[in-house]
Amino acid sequence: MAKKVMLVCSAGMSTSLLVKKMQTAAIERGLEIDVFSASQAEAKEYFDEISILLLGPQVRYLEGELKKVLDSMGIPMLIIDSRDYGTINGEKVLDEVLAELKKGEPPGFHEEKEDKP
């Protein structure tokens, strides 16, 4: 089952380029990860569906409010580094997501899929 990664920003638009870069990196690595963005207003609608939530640096002030709810649901949250966000470094952000998800996953989740003949 694919993991769902939600990036949250003010309107859900500024994260769209980073979403594309992260999704491309996941596909290139053979990982089943669905990356999407949402506005801060609509984010809570997706809590039951996501594996992890990433906050854009411009909405980091939401951390305290969201952390309580997400912690009670067992959903990790990260704040995207400003440099990685500004340079649209999808590879590095994906690495951080994988490291966080690995904490709660069984062994083998992060290994790239092998092509079987």
9 is catalytic: yes
Which are the contacts of 4, defined by CB distance < 8 A and separation ≥ 6?
Answer: 33, 34, 35, 36, 46, 49, 50, 51, 52
Tell me the β-bridge partners of 52.
5
Judging by DSSP bridges, how do beta strands 77-79 and 3-9 pair with one another? Answer: unpaired
Label residues 31-54 b or e (16+ Cβ within 10 Å = b): bebebbbbebeebeeeeeebbbbb
Catalytic residue among 5, 9, 26, 70: 9
Catalytic residue ranges: 9
